[in-house]
């Protein structure tokens, strides 16, 4: 018996090796070793329909026009092919996070009504060699069999980074193999294969040049943060789902909220609408009112109100004078952003007070405007110097902003 126990670990190890060898032989079947070859992509419009369409996407009209052409081609390819046109192979949707790249791809699938295969770039990369390339082959084989169809690769920068960087890591080689297979599959379509590839990324600058060339991704669609009219349209989409007060004028509310949210993305706007509904529910209100939206915007911009952070009367006075310095400069300077609100209620991480401004949607900044912004940022520190015998550390964040602004003025704007 003792002899049997001494051989037991060896027998278990041999048994495991035999079992894993048999599993490796089944690779390419239903599961492969530890199920690594299992299909990772999700299929829509066959097993379940996509209920999102272009009416649900607002604030990116130019991008919608670009993508609409793919939908028209997939619905009626003969109209274009009779004139000798070829279907564009694919489009890269790039832009800041939260601008609606994935939503636009879903809307394309909903409008076209063709099979839609969705997969994330990170799902191709595994520790096992060859699995990523195998999954790419499997994805495109299925898409071709069900053509016309759309393939959407979200966060394509996970596999599409420029090759030849960071050699010596096994994972990097596997990522390159996956990218090479993707390049081959995208070039391997015949002109009769009505398969469109859409890809989303917010890091288009790191992608391999071979991936971006015409013939693979013919269109580069940039989706930026929405401007005033775009924000109005996005609010219109999200406000439909919220129970508003009976005396609330929707047009007036849309315009006011769009003006209060400069530079925000579609995801930020959706978050504000949801926060406003949560605040109204927390206060046992019957409907969502304007002041709920204003509180939600404050919470998103400046953070949660800190009710347990008690300042001494002297500290409160310093914060009040500091914020008043910002406010007075913002009020009197011609080129500074319009001042909306000043608060000395502690919020967020370390903010003892804040001044809220409404910067307009502009792309060219004059020297006067930048100088006035810097003056406004330093107004708090100047106010402290004028009214107190000693200054405090409260202006550290302002100095950081002014330093960055001054460096960009010299290094980037000349």
205 and 62 both lie in a single domain: yes
User: Contact 197/219 with Cβ under 8 angstroms?
Assistant: no
The whole-angstrom separation of Cα 265 and Cα 96 is: 8
The whole-angstrom separation of Cα 310 and Cα 322 is: 18
The whole-angstrom separation of Cα 261 and Cα 267 is: 12
On whether residue 109 sits in a domain, the answer given is yes
Return the DSSP state at 47.
Answer: S
142 and 86 both lie in a single domain: yes
* Rounded alpha-carbon distances, angstroms, from residue 292 to 113, 163, 203: 39, 50, 35
CATH code for the domain of 249: 1.10.8.60
On whether residue 111 sits in a domain, the answer given is yes
The whole-angstrom separation of Cα 412 and Cα 414 is: 6
Residue 410: Cβ within 10 Å count: 8
Last residue of a domain, one of 302, 326, 358: 302
Q: Which residue has the higher pLDDT, 394 or 376?
A: 376
On whether residue 75 sits in a domain, the answer given is yes
* Rounded alpha-carbon distances, angstroms, from residue 13 to 16, 21, 85, 306: 5, 12, 61, 58
184 and 332 both lie in a single domain: no
Please determine, for residue 28, whether its predicted confidence score (pLDDT) is greater than 50: no
- On whether the pTM is more than 0.85, the answer is no
Last residue of a domain, one of 165, 192, 222: 222
Residue range(s) defining the domain that contains residue 333: 313-411
333 and 388 both lie in a single domain: yes
Look up residue 257 and give its two tokens. 């909220």
The whole-angstrom separation of Cα 111 and Cα 314 is: 61
130 and 218 both lie in a single domain: yes
Tell me what pLDDT residue 31 has. 46
Residue 113: Cβ within 10 Å count: 15
On whether residue 174 sits in a domain, the answer given is yes
Task: Of 96, 95, 76, give the one whose Cα is nearest residue 85.
Answer: 76
Please determine, for residue 181, whether its predicted confidence score (pLDDT) is greater than 90: no
On whether residue 373 sits in a domain, the answer given is yes
Return the ∠ at Cα 70 (arms to 65 and 76), rounded to 5°: 120
Look up residue 278 and give its two tokens. 């949560």
The whole-angstrom separation of Cα 90 and Cα 1 is: 67
Last residue of a domain, one of 202, 222, 242: 222
On whether residue 407 sits in a domain, the answer given is yes
Return the DSSP state at 91.
Answer: E
Can you spell out the DSSP letters for 269-282?
Answer: HHHHHHHHHHHHHH
Reply yes or no on whether 323 is catalytic: yes
Q: What is the pLDDT of residues 59-111, one digit of tens each?
A: 888 888 888 888 888 888 888 888 888 778 888 999 888 888 888 888 887 88
192 and 259 both lie in a single domain: no
236 and 277 both lie in a single domain: yes
6 and 122 both lie in a single domain: no
Segment among 30-39, 145-154, 181-190 with least mean pLDDT: 30-39
Residue 34: Cβ within 10 Å count: 11
Residue that has been written with the tokens 């960009």 in this structure: 408
61 and 28 both lie in a single domain: no
Q: What is the mean pLDDT of the chain?
A: 81
User: Contact 177/223 with Cβ under 8 angstroms?
Assistant: no
Look up residue 272 and give its two tokens. 């504000």
Q: What is the pLDDT of residues 256-275, one digit of tens each?
A: 898 888 888 889 999 999 99
On whether residue 323 sits in a domain, the answer given is yes
Tell me what pLDDT residue 202 has. 87
251 and 382 both lie in a single domain: no
Number of domains in the chain: 4
Task: Of 351, 397, 403, give the one whose Cα is nearest residue 374.
Answer: 403
On whether residue 307 sits in a domain, the answer given is no
Helical pair 313-332 and 367-387, crossing angle rounded to 10 deg: 150
Q: Which residue has the higher pLDDT, 16 or 44?
A: 16
The whole-angstrom separation of Cα 171 and Cα 129 is: 9
CATH code for the domain of 380: 1.20.58.760
Residues forming beta bridges with residue 197, ordered by sequence position? 90, 151
CATH code for the domain of 123: 3.40.50.300
User: Contact 358/259 with Cβ under 8 angstroms?
Assistant: yes
58 and 20 both lie in a single domain: no
Q: Determine which one of 315, 323, 385, 400 is catalytic.
A: 323
74 and 184 both lie in a single domain: yes
């Amino acid at each position: 018996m003792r002899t049997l126990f001494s051989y037991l670990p060896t027998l278990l190890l041999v048994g495991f090796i035999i079992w894993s060898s048999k599993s490796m032989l089944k690779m390419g079947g239903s599961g492969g070793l530890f199920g690594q070859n299992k299909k990772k992509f999700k299929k829509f419009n066959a097993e379940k329909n996509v209920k999102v369409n272009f009416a649900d996407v607002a604030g990116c009209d130019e991008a919608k026009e670009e993508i609409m052409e793919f939908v028209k081609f997939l619905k009626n390819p003969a109209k274009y092919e009779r004139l000798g046109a070829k279907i564009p192979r694919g489009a890269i949707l790039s832009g800041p996070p939260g601008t609606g790249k994935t939503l636009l791809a879903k809307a394309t699938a909903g409008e076209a009504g063709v099979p839609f295969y969705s997969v994330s770039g990170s799902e191709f990369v595994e520790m096992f060699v060859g699995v990523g390339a195998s999954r790419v082959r499997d994805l495109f084989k299925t898409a071709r069999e069900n053509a016309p169809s759309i393939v959407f690769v979200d966060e394509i920068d996970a596999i599409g980074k420029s090759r030849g960087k960071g050699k010596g890591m096994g994972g990097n080689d596997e990522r390159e193999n996956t990218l090479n297979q993707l390049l081959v599959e995208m070039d391997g379509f015949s002109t009769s294969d009505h398969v469109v590839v859409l890809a989303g990324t917010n890091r288009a600058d790191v992608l391999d040049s071979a991936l971006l060339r015409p013939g693979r991704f013919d269109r580069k669609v940039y989706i930026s943060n929405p401007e005033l009219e775009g924000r109005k349209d996005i609010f219109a989409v999200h406000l439909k789902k919220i129970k508003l007060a009976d005396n609330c004028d929707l047009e007036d509310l849309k315009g006011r909220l769009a003006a209060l949210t400069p530079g925000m993305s579609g995801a930020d706007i959706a978050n504000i609408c949801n926060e406003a509904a949560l605040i109204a529910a927390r206060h046992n209100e019957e409907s969502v009112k304007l002041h709920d939206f204003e509180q939600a915007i404050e919470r998103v911009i400046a953070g949660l109100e800190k009710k347990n952070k008690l300042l001494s009367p002297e500290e409160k006075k310093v914060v009040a004078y500091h914020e008043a310095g910002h406010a007075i400069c913002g009020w009197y300077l011609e080129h500074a952003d319009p001042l909306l609100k000043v608060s000395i209620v502690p919020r967020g991480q370390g903010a003892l007070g804040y001044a809220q401004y409404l910067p307009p949607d502009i792309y060219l900044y004059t020297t006067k405007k930048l100088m006035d912004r810097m003056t406004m940022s330093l107004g708090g520190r100047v106010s402290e110097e004028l009214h107190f015998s000693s200054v405090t550390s409260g202006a550290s964040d302002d100095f950081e902003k002014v330093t960055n602004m001054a460096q960009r003025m010299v290094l980037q704007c000349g």
